[in-house]
Amino acid sequence: MPGQTRAAIACVDLTRQLSWIQDGKTLKLRAGAGAHGRNGHETRTGLKKVYWRDIDHISSIYHVPMPYSQFFDGGQAFHSVGISVWSPPGSHGA
């Protein structure tokens, strides 16, 4: 509709552990492999809206860097990592 803006959508396939960003039907970024929360720290599902961004975030719980954090659900966030997400301890929920 005229006058409305449409935001890009970040998508995550938790089964295949893939993520991407799309705008309408157009693929904007294929981020590739990602890790969702391990047992006991599962990523909550559903349509969410990013409510806070922090480029240099440090986890207040685990005291580790979470660069380029995009918080979307009660403390869960998309973020970059400086090490392999497949190495222990892995992901804690997003």
Taking a C-beta distance cutoff of 8 angstroms, is the pair 39, 59 a contact? no
Taking a C-beta distance cutoff of 8 angstroms, is the pair 36, 44 a contact? no
**Which regions in the chain score pLDDT beneath 50?**
none
Q: Report CA 16 to chain centroid distance, whole Å.
A: 15
Residue-level pLDDT at 55: 96
Q: Token pair of 24, please?
A: 């309408």
> Which pLDDT tens digit goes with each residue over 8-29?
888 888 888 888 889 988 998 8
Residue-level pLDDT at 69: 92
CA atoms within 13 A on the CB side of 63: 0
Residue-level pLDDT at 54: 97
Cis previous bond, 88, omega within 30: no
